Amino acid sequence: MQCGAQHRLASPVPVSRRGLGQRLARERGRVHERVHDRVERARRVARGGEGRRGLCPGREIAVHDGHGGVCVFETERDRSPDARSITCDEHHSAREHAGMVTMGTKRPLGRGSDAMLDERLGLTGRSVVVAGAGGGGIGTAVCRLLVEAGTVVAALDHDPAHLALSERAMDEAGGRYRSFVVDVRNADDVAAAVAEAAAAGRVHGLVHVAGGLFPDQWASLLETPPETFDSVVELNLRSAFLTTRAVGTHLVEQGTGGSVVHITSIAALSAMPFGAAYAAAKAGMVALTRTAALELAHSGIRVNAVAAGTVRTPRNVAQSSPDLAPAERAAIPLGRRGRPEDIAGAVLFLLSELSGFVTGQVLAVDGGSSTRPSFLDDDNLPVFVRDPEVRARLLGN
């Protein structure tokens, strides 16, 4: 995991030049009190551009100016002159992670309309658990986008090497996070990791990404061994139940509301030949999503799902060509496979205050493939329309 960088930053406060004092006053309690005592000093810095002003030995505020706005930080400097930021490759269990967190985000929040968007998202400084966070695919894209939005991520994954990919992405984005090596199929491990994340600050939500169907698990329904079916359901459905139960319990106890997002599949909305266990598990996630949404709504907790279509990830890129074949392109109305960032964008929306009146819903992010009827040919005409003149007229030939 990333051991704390030597410069620790409090939650950044996006402000405009005109509203610096008023915004800092509203943010009282989120930024150290001494920052508020030096509002006038910060104003002078904002007018003159970037700069730093000392508070006392080892502490300062920094104001970064540009593009129509300023960003004010309170910084605690390491007192050792030889201190350097270091990256550790070792990973720890949930119970060994107390206090181990990458501190600070240098994300330039206060850039004109960006400050307004940050406020509308309502995620700055909030903690979100991401289960299945590693691997360089959807989990990594979700982690990076969340820290870019100011979220503090609690990243859970069973593989330290996979987790390192997301840590690197969050470091590049200047984000704050905590990393936990956790098997999300183990109830005790999940509960311990979530409790550790909650101990560091109130949890706002959960993104459950963990799941999948491995190549050796593909089989017809009649040839699928019961143990394979159980294994697929355990990874894709039971794990989602465990993480939702653990995070949901803390959200209810906090009484602060929150948001839960499950990553399911468009296979849950129809069928998946040679992947019955996967389709059944993902359909179960949809039912879990809707049931949890109703049960938790009275606590102000929203629960939604993203039904992902075909997405190119490191796990499947070796089994597919870089370019889509004509038949593949025709199956996806938007003409391309999805990217992890496409799923992450939908997740950000559902976690944020922009979707504050949305719960119990399944958002398909699939390039339109789930809306395409099976009876259409490559030209988007029904296969039974064979009259050459009709086809020529409709296709403009």
Which SS3 state, helix, strand or coil, does residue 174 take? coil
Report the percent of the chain where pLDDT is more than 90.
60
Mean pLDDT of 193-202: 93
Q: How many Cα atoms are found within 13 Å in the side-chain-facing hemisphere of 34?
A: 13
* In the predicted structure, residue 99 carries a pLDDT above the cut 70: no
CA angle 187–147–343, rounded 5-degree value? 75
- What is the spatial distance between Cα 277 and Cα 384, in angstroms, rounded to a whole number? 33
Backbone torsion region of residue 25, taken as left when φ is above 0, otherwise alpha when ψ lies between -120 and 50, otherwise beta:
alpha
Mean pLDDT of 196-219: 95
Instruction: Say what the pLDDT of residue 300 is.
Output: 98
* In the predicted structure, residue 197 carries a pLDDT above the cut 60: yes
Instruction: Say what the pLDDT of residue 85 is.
Output: 29
Instruction: Say what the pLDDT of residue 116 is.
Output: 75
Q: pLDDT band at residue 321, thresholds of 50, 70 and 90?
A: low
- What is the spatial distance between Cα 134 and Cα 154, in angstroms, rounded to a whole number? 12
Per the prediction, the chain carries an average pLDDT of 79
Instruction: Say what the pLDDT of residue 80 is.
Output: 38
pTM: 0.72
DSSP 8-state code for residue 234: I
pLDDT tens-digit readout, 344-360: 999 999 999 999 999 99
What is the CATH topology of the domain spanning 122-369? Rossmann fold (3.40.50)
- What is the spatial distance between Cα 167 and Cα 334, in angstroms, rounded to a whole number? 32
Q: How many Cα atoms are found within 13 Å in the side-chain-facing hemisphere of 269?
A: 19
Instruction: Give the closest residue to 242 by CA, choosing from 160, 187, 172, 168.
Output: 187
Mean pLDDT of 42-48: 47
- What is the spatial distance between Cα 95 and Cα 116, in angstroms, rounded to a whole number? 38
Mean pLDDT of 310-327: 70
pLDDT tens-digit readout, 219-265: 999 999 999 999 999 999 999 999 999 999 999 999 999 999 999 99
Which SS3 state, helix, strand or coil, does residue 195 take? helix
pLDDT tens-digit readout, 258-299: 999 999 999 999 999 999 999 999 999 999 999 999 999 999
Report the percent of the chain where pLDDT is more than 70.
69
Domain ranges of the chain: 1-121, 122-369
Q: C-alpha distances in angstroms, 312 versus 113, 321, 323, 339, 365?
A: 32, 10, 11, 6, 13
Q: CA torsion angle for 103, 108, 114, 116 (degrees, to 10)?
A: 60
Q: Which residue has the tokens 């009876």?
A: 375
Instruction: Say what the pLDDT of residue 328 is.
Output: 73
Q: Which residues are annotated as catalytic? A: 278
Q: pLDDT band at residue 111, thresholds of 50, 70 and 90?
A: very low
- What is the spatial distance between Cα 357 and Cα 346, in angstroms, rounded to a whole number? 15
Q: For residues 203 and 249, is the Cβ–Cβ distance under 8 A?
A: no
Q: pLDDT band at residue 314, thresholds of 50, 70 and 90?
A: confident
Q: Which of 129-133, 319-323, 376-380 has the lowest mean pLDDT?
A: 319-323
Q: Tell me the longest C-alpha to C-alpha distance in the chain.
A: 84
- What is the spatial distance between Cα 302 and Cα 305, in angstroms, rounded to a whole number? 10
- One-letter amino acid for residue 69 of the chain: G
Instruction: Say what the pLDDT of residue 319 is.
Output: 59
